[in-house]
């Protein structure tokens, strides 16, 4: 065993980051009442998100690699060199024989369990090894044990010890865990907490199944919305005008500027590798009614959908808010359904909308929502019929589209967080009592997990599964992972996982100023990790 003495966090940069006027105003506003340490952290984060500085760090690592001599006994190890995860290590070494690599992390605090992972490599067994170790615990000593396994099963190991510094944010390192009586186990992976709508500095957080903080990813401002993966890269938003492409080592390889558009809520890949992003055109007075296409190879940004052009009659019925803005649709979720089709969730209309031929002739295929919302519009005949007795969703969040091989063509599932709230500031005339949400019921508000079966053949939808979740009037998320359901309740700042019998396997509470918005779980297979052998 040996100890790495000083491994400083490396935020190398050259010059100041170019930001648009909106971001400059935001940064100035966030700087008010911040401590000197917070201001320094914000500057370091700004310096981190520059492609030029990231390339400079990459070249410095390449020079060290070229010097040679890095073996199991003498690994090249740098602590968070790219500045994108304070609880990570960059590791490089060579072996004589082809081996697979895995590692485990044991924290000094014995209340914290072991974290282990199999490292992703181009080939399962190879002689050159370069990867990122994630899962280190802040504010304590961590022992990392590396295992190098040959094809014949023989294994060498190497131990190092690293003293980790404090978190950059104010999140808890260890969350209290609540469970119910169940023998079910949580799915493998890390819970990724997407923002808490507080002032900068801002972060995404990785938590394991025991509620231990295993990653802290800095953001420029606002919140990130989700992680998506394509061709060995991870994509996520770092502000409401920028997205990034990150490689497996934690290096930012591309930064995409959306210009006058402001990103919100969600994004997804289409089948051609383009990013479709929910946005607001800041040059207009309507909000959250645009879908953009981002070509991740060229960086070109084009407007694909303006819902005001698709629903002009409905938009004309809506009122402006107190600030004079028209927040009439508020799309909060986007799913790619293949063959030029999108499924959108609209909170203001409490509706789920399918659009087809989005690139050449955008057309509304159907609407799932309360018919009275769409009465008197050209779209009232596009509302699917409800099959069965249940309350239609209200103010829903985080809709997922899922095909199933056991279903017929034209059938599929939609999973969603049903906030079960009747709110539409742009349509104060709506009678939300017609969808079962009466004023007196708001005192005992509830939220639910909903699973719809949509049958386009018959033009119907039915509720196949539901159960109560911690209430959230705004925000929240659900995600089907294996047989379990991961949830986040925005208002209560809680998240966790339920089994197939709707028993709580693990529930966690964040100490947040407002809300945590959404939480999704990722196994990071094919990126950081490979599956268990």
Q: What is the pLDDT of residue 532?
A: 64
Rounded mean pLDDT of 469-475? 90
Provide the mean pLDDT of the chain: 90
Determine the Cα–Cα distance for residues 269 and 340; give it in Å rounded to an integer.
12
> What digits encode the pLDDT tens for the residues 235-276?
999 999 999 999 999 999 999 999 999 999 999 999 999 999
Determine the Cα–Cα distance for residues 110 and 97; give it in Å rounded to an integer.
35
> What digits encode the pLDDT tens for the residues 80-110?
999 999 999 999 999 999 999 999 999 999 9
> What digits encode the pLDDT tens for the residues 482-497?
999 999 998 888 999 9
List the end-to-end C-alpha distance of the chain, in Å, as a whole number.
Answer: 26
Contact 412, 401 (CB under 8 A): yes
> What digits encode the pLDDT tens for the residues 434-466?
666 654 445 567 899 999 999 999 999 999 999
Q: What is the pLDDT of residue 202?
A: 86
Nearest to 226 by CA among 519, 480, 524, 523: 519
Contact 263, 240 (CB under 8 A): yes
Angle at 411 between CA 408 and CA 413, to 5 degrees: 130
- What Å distances lie between residue 386 and 382, 383, 452, 458, CA to CA? 12, 9, 10, 11
Burial class of 36 by CB neighbour count within 10 A (0 to 12, 13 to 18, 19+): exposed
Supply the DSSP string of 388-405, one letter for each residue.
SS-PPP-S-EEEEEE--T
Q: What is the pLDDT of residue 270?
A: 97
Q: What is the pLDDT of residue 335?
A: 98
User: How many H-runs (helices) and E-runs (strands) does the chain carry?
Assistant: 6, 34
Rounded mean pLDDT of 55-76? 96
Determine the Cα–Cα distance for residues 368 and 384; give it in Å rounded to an integer.
6
Determine the Cα–Cα distance for residues 386 and 53; give it in Å rounded to an integer.
55
User: Looking at the predicted structure, is the pLDDT value of residue 514 above 70?
Assistant: no
Q: Is 297 helix (H, G, I), strand (E, B) or coil?
A: coil
Determine the Cα–Cα distance for residues 88 and 250; give it in Å rounded to an integer.
9
Cis peptide before 336 (omega within 30 of 0): no
Q: What is the pLDDT of residue 32?
A: 52
Share of the chain above pLDDT 90, in %: 78
pLDDT grade for 175, boundaries at 50, 70 and 90: very high
> What digits encode the pLDDT tens for the residues 321-342?
888 889 999 999 999 999 999 9
Q: What is the pLDDT of residue 395?
A: 92
Residue 440 backbone class (left: φ over 0; alpha: ψ -120 to 50; beta: rest): alpha
Q: What is the pLDDT of residue 100?
A: 98
Residue with tokens 């992703």: 120
Structure tokens at 197: 């709508």
Rounded mean pLDDT of 44-70? 95
Determine the Cα–Cα distance for residues 24 and 241; give it in Å rounded to an integer.
12
Determine the Cα–Cα distance for residues 53 and 209; give it in Å rounded to an integer.
34
Dihedral (CA of 217, 219, 225, 230) sign: negative
* Domain 2-163, CATH class in plain words: mainly beta
Q: What is the pLDDT of residue 262?
A: 96
Question: pTM for the complete prediction?
Answer: 0.91
Structure tokens at 382: 């596009």
Contact 261, 282 (CB under 8 A): yes
Q: What is the pLDDT of residue 126?
A: 98
pLDDT grade for 162, boundaries at 50, 70 and 90: very high
Residues paired with residue 141 on neighbouring β-strands, in sequence order: 163
Which helix (H) or strand (E) segment is 365 a member of?
strand 363-368
User: Looking at the predicted structure, is the pLDDT value of residue 200 above 70?
Assistant: no
Nearest to 487 by CA among 524, 517, 525: 517
Residue with tokens 């925000």: 475
What are the φ and ψ backbone dihedral angles of 380, each rounded to 5 degrees? -65, -25
Contact 88, 136 (CB under 8 A): yes
Report H helices in 333-404. 371-374
Nearest to 8 by CA among 93, 108, 80: 80
Domain spans of the chain, in order of start: 2-163
Determine the Cα–Cα distance for residues 410 and 324; give it in Å rounded to an integer.
42
Contact 239, 261 (CB under 8 A): no
Say how far residue 177 (Cα) sits from the centre of its chain.
22
Residue 265 backbone class (left: φ over 0; alpha: ψ -120 to 50; beta: rest): left
Q: What is the pLDDT of residue 313?
A: 96
Q: What is the pLDDT of residue 24?
A: 44
Contact 128, 94 (CB under 8 A): yes
Q: What is the pLDDT of residue 445?
A: 79
Share of the chain above pLDDT 70, in %: 89
Widest distance between CA atoms in the chain: 75
Determine the Cα–Cα distance for residues 198 and 196; give it in Å rounded to an integer.
6
User: Looking at the predicted structure, is the pLDDT value of residue 146 above 70?
Assistant: yes
Supply the DSSP string of 74-86, one letter for each residue.
S-EEEESTTSS-T
Determine the Cα–Cα distance for residues 457 and 195; give it in Å rounded to an integer.
39
Angle at 228 between CA 144 and CA 23, to 5 degrees: 100
Which helix (H) or strand (E) segment is 39 a member of?
helix 36-48
Dihedral (CA of 232, 237, 241, 244) sign: negative
- What Å distances lie between residue 236 and 12, 48, 89, 261, CA to CA? 21, 15, 21, 16
């Amino acid at each position: 065993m040996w100890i790495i003495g000083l491994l400083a966090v490396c935020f190398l940069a050259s010059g100041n980051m170019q930001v648009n006027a909106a971001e400059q105003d935001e940064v100035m506003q966030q700087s008010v009442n911040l401590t000197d340490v917070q201001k320094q952290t914000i500057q370091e984060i700004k310096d981190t998100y520059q492609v030029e500085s990231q390339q400079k760090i990459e070249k410095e690592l390449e020079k060290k690699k070229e010097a040679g001599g890095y073996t199991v006994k003498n690994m090249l190890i740098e602590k968070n060199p790219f500045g994108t995860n304070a609880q990570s290590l960059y590791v490089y070494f060579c072996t004589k024989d082809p081996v697979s690599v895995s590692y485990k992390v044991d924290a000094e605090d014995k209340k914290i369990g072991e974290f282990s992972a199999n490292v992703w490599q181009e080939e399962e067994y190879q002689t050159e090894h370069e990867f990122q170790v994630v899962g280190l615990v802040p504010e304590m000593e961590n022992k990392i044990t590396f295992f190098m396994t040959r094809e014949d099963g023989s294994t060498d190991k190497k131990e190092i010890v690293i003293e980790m510094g404090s978190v950059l944010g104010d999140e808890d390192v260890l969350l209290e865990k609540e469970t119910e009586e169940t023998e079910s186990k949580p799915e493998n992976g890390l819970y990724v907490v997407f923002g808490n709508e507080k002032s900068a500095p801002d972060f995404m957080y990785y938590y394991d199944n025991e509620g231990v903080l295993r990653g802290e990813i800095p953001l420029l401002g606002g919140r990130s919305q989700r992680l998506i993966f394509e061709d060995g890269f991870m994509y996520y938003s770092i502000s409401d005008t920028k997205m990034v492409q990150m490689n497996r080592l934690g290096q930012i390889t591309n930064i995409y500027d959306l210009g006058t558009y402001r990103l919100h809520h969600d994004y997804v890949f289409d089948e051609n590798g383009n990013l479709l992003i929910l946005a607001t055109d800041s040059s207009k007075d309507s909000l959250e009614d645009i879908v953009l296409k981002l070509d991740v190879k060229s960086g070109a940004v084009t407007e694909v959908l303006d819902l005001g052009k698709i629903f002009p009659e409905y938009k004309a019925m809506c009122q402006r808010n107190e600030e004079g803005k028209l927040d009439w649709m508020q799309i909060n979720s986007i799913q790619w359904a293949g063959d030029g089709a999108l499924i959108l969730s609209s909170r203001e209309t409490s509706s789920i909308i399918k659009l087809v031929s989005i690139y050449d002739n955008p057309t509304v295929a159907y609407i799932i929502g309360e018919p009275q919302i769409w009465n008197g519009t050209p779209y009232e005949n596009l509302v699917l019929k409800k099959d069965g007795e249940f309350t239609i969703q209200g103010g829903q969040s985080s809709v997922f589209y899922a095909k199933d091989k056991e279903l017929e063509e034209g059938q599929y599932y939609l999973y969603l967080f049903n906030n079960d709230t009747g709110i539409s500031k742009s349509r104060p005339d709506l009678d939300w009592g017609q969808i079962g949400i009466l004023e007196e019921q708001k005192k005992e508000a509830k939220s639910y997990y909903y699973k719809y079966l949509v049958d386009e053949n018959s033009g119907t939808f039915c509720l196949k599964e539901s159960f109560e979740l911690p209430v959230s009037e705004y925000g929240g998320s659900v995600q089907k992972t294996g047989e379990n359901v991961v949830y986040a309740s925005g208002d209560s700042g809680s998240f966790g996982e339920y089994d197939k019998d709707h028993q709580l396997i693990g529930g966690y509470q964040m100490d947040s100023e407002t809300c945590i918005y959404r939480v999704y779980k990722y196994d990071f297979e094919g990126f950081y990790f490979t599956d268990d052998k």
